[in-house]
Amino acid sequence: MRNLTVVVCSVLFASIAWAQPSPVAEKKPATPESLKAEKETRYLAFQIFTYGPDPKRATMGEGKNPQPARFPDKAVLRDYIEDIKKRIGAVGDPQTRLAVMLGQLSFDHGDAETTKFIKLGFELALETDVAVGFHIDDSMFWAKRKDLWSDPKNVETLDWDGTPCTGRLLNWGKEPSAAPPQMCFNSKVIQREVQKRSALLGKAIQAGVKQLEQLKRPELFAGVIAGSETEIGQDFKTGKYLGYRALLNRGFSREHPPQDMDLEREKVVQEFIELWSKGLADAGVSPQKIYSHTCFLSRRAFNGEDKDVTYMKRKGEITYSQHNHFAPPSVAFGKYHRPGFSTYPQPGVFDDIYEEVAKHKQVGWASCEGTNMQPSSGPGQTGMGMETYLAKMFNHGATLINVQSWGVGGEANKNMGFRVATEGEESLQAYRKFLKGDPLIEGKTVASLEERLPPKIHKIQKELPAWMEKAGNKEAAALMQKMQEQLKAKNFEEVEKTADSILKLMGEKP
């Protein structure tokens, strides 16, 4: 038994080098905008993927085996919501509410089924006491709309000659995949369809909001995200930057190009966001409940000041606007909506958001996608706990945070990095703290796995052999074997749970 314990300890210390203790940071004073935002309901939401029938598959119309564009059944969604509610153990109050964000609602979903699904979402909010919001895919997945993409005028081009886009390049997984061709945002037909679609969705959402108001439960509507990382992306086969069709529609050409190619394409993106949000607002949805959704690499990371950046890492000599697919932070702002961003915690991302929010004197903004982990990295690499991650937004004026990856992949993926970051015990404690209305401490030191686990192993190593001789408990030996297997698989969260079980058997407090 002693030899097994020593092996576990040696493997442990060699294996958990990825975990870094969180530094202590000075708590910044609240801004006037953040204080105003705190007076309204703030939502801690969790994304539920509803493009296809299985919400545990975080795929839409991309990849080799895409899900069909069919919304999940109500019972499936109810179980998903109840799991979130049960494990967090709180739904909040009129000032801080637990929510789910259903989406993405895409052009691949028909008008009738989408209207019906929105109604279902409000029904679930009333039945579960968990607020609901909706996440719209504004332009990415429209494969079923052959009536639109079969017309070259509605599809972006690679150059002034009109070479059509072969597909939208997506770098979401281990290998790039293709979405349907990039939509031309300022095509007259596309703009007409967006106006029609946003009015349809807006009316359905507003009908649900009115029902909640009649039942005196308005806090059960978290809002609508009017986009899915809106941008003019890259061509799948060539990697070339797109947007020439939109520039031609703005009166430019090879002979008469714009003075600033990047800026003109940024205007196209911003105007497209505004087209969607205006349609929703004209249908009755409050602009305070409408959010844009863009994604950007921070200036600090783009300039190469942090070598550990893994998310959206810069490649080659390109402009900042190009790298961000003509959607730098400034394009997220508009008259009919609040700004929203993807907020995976790359260095500098929050500073860039604070700067733009202050510049626009914006009250209220959203994290539309993110969790406390950089994609392609691992849990523990952000230098902060979930409480600090939430505090960096809620303490600086955010009114909605939409956390990704809860339940994604099902039981088989329960130990993957994203799910550990989102569903780990420290994260659950941070969620409960927010929903209780307690202040979130920014920069609070959270004991990392590297700090928590070695003392537990040392205690087991020192005391278990003598306890085994006295108690003769065979269960402890089985647990030790289980822990060694978990270490080999690098399931560190599970290692700690098993260590806690051993300590509990020994009558010790974990």
Domains for the chain: give ranges and CATH numbers. Answer: 2-7+451-505 (no CATH), 41-445 (3.20.20.80)
Backbone φ and ψ for 368, nearest 5 degrees, come out as -85, -15
CA dist 242 → 170, 253, 258, 336 (Å): 14, 14, 15, 27
SS (H, E, C) 357-418: HHHCCCCCEEEEEECCCCCCCCCCCCCCCHHHHHHHHHCCCEEEEEECCCCCCHHHHCCCHH
DSSP string, 327-349: --GGGG-BTTBB-EEE----TTH
Rounded to an integer, the average pLDDT of 19-23 is 39
Residue 311 pLDDT > 60:
no
**From CA 404, how far away is CA 46, in angstroms rounded?**
6
Q: How does pLDDT run across 106-136, given as a tens digit for each residue?
A: 999 999 999 999 999 999 999 999 999 999 9
**From CA 148, how far away is CA 403, in angstroms rounded?**
33
Q: Please answer whether residues 147 and 193 qualify as being in contact, where contact means their C-beta atoms are separated by less than 8 angstroms.
A: no
Angle at 324 between CA 245 and CA 362, to 5 degrees: 105
Angle at 173 between CA 485 and CA 274, to 5 degrees: 135
Question: What percentage of the chain reaches a pLDDT higher than 70?
Answer: 84
Q: How does pLDDT run across 48-66, given as a tens digit for each residue?
A: 999 999 999 887 877 677 8
Residue 497 pLDDT > 50:
yes
* Pairing verdict, β 290-291 and 221-226: parallel
